[in-house]
Amino acid sequence: MGITKLLMVIGAHSWMRALACLTVVGSSSLAATAKDEAAAVAPTLACEIRYHFRERLEGVKADAKKFSAPAYEKEALPQSMVAANGAQWRLVQGRVAHLPYLFVIKLGAKSAGTLEVNILDGDGKPLDGYPQTIVHASAGAANPSRREFEIPINDAIRKSVEKTLLKKNQFLTSVSLTIAVDDDFLSRNFPKAR
């Protein structure tokens, strides 16, 4: 039943009309408040690990290129969630199959727009160069909705990734963490089903 019909039916009783109006106004203001609170939370994050590699080309002439153009394989970290304590910030915490690290990414925990990235080894110690904090994370970047961080790896990790993830004749050149808040990046079904 529409609000107009409801008001016509209960028109004879002004107190009932006032109650109906308060109910409608109250429910719409609750919806507006929920929408305002959702907007105050930091935007959704998508994070993926990229394994950059090149491939040795076989059977090429002596004066031809011996390596392919750069390419990468990727693994997604878990989707971001609002902090458990009700604070207005986002958290991504998790691991990927091919690296022995724990990734902890926070957006807006210290202040709006502040990005905190920490990568921990198996002993819970930060890797060299981490944690990193970027105030106003979207400012000054070539693409303000994405940030990329190099992940240090040793020979043992490099060999393990090449053996378990890459194909024959492919060799790992670097590993990076990409963090994004733009719709194009977010629409790629994070995290990927395994």
Same domain, 68 and 25: no
Same domain, 73 and 160: yes
What is the structure's pLDDT at 20? 43
What is the structure's pLDDT at 38? 43
User: Does the reported pTM lie above 0.75?
Assistant: no
What is the structure's pLDDT at 107? 87
User: Which residue carries 């109650």 as its tokens?
Assistant: 19
Same domain, 33 and 127: no
What is the structure's pLDDT at 180? 87
pLDDT by position in tens, the chain (length 194): 554 454 455 454 444 444 444 344 444 444 444 444 444 555 688 899 999 998 887 777 777 777 877 888 999 999 888 876 666 788 899 999 999 999 999 988 677 778 899 999 999 999 999 999 988 666 555 556 788 999 999 999 999 999 999 898 899 999 999 998 766 565 555 444 33
Residue 172 located in a structural domain = yes
Q: 33 lies in which domain range?
A: 3-37
Same domain, 16 and 97: no
Q: How many residues in the chain? A: 194
In single-letter form, the type of residue at position 29 comes to: S
Tell me the C-alpha distance between 21 and 31, whole Å.
16
Same domain, 46 and 126: yes
Pairing mode, strands 81-82 and 102-107: unpaired
Residue 14 located in a structural domain = yes
Same domain, 167 and 141: yes
Residue 194 located in a structural domain = no
Residue 193 located in a structural domain = no
Same domain, 58 and 16: no
Residue 74 located in a structural domain = yes
Residue 18 located in a structural domain = yes
Same domain, 98 and 133: yes
Same domain, 130 and 57: yes
User: Which residue carries 């090149």 as its tokens?
Assistant: 54
On whether the CB atoms of residues 98 and 164 are closer than 8 A, the answer is: yes
Residue 180 located in a structural domain = yes
Question: What does the longest C-alpha to C-alpha distance in the chain come to?
Answer: 96
What is the structure's pLDDT at 158? 94
**Count of structural domains, the chain:** 2
What is the structure's pLDDT at 29? 41
What is the structure's pLDDT at 125? 96
Residue 191 located in a structural domain = no
Nearest to 56 by CA among 46, 48, 68: 68
Cα atoms found within 13 Å of the Cα of residue 72, Cβ hemisphere only: 13
Tell me the C-alpha distance between 151 and 66, whole Å.
27
Same domain, 75 and 115: yes
- DSSP result, 123-147: TSPBPTT-SEEETTTTTT-SSTTEE
Same domain, 95 and 114: yes
Helix (H) or strand (E) holding 27: helix 14-40
What is the structure's pLDDT at 87? 66
Same domain, 83 and 172: yes
What is the structure's pLDDT at 79? 85
Sign of the Cα torsion 136, 138, 142, 146 reads positive
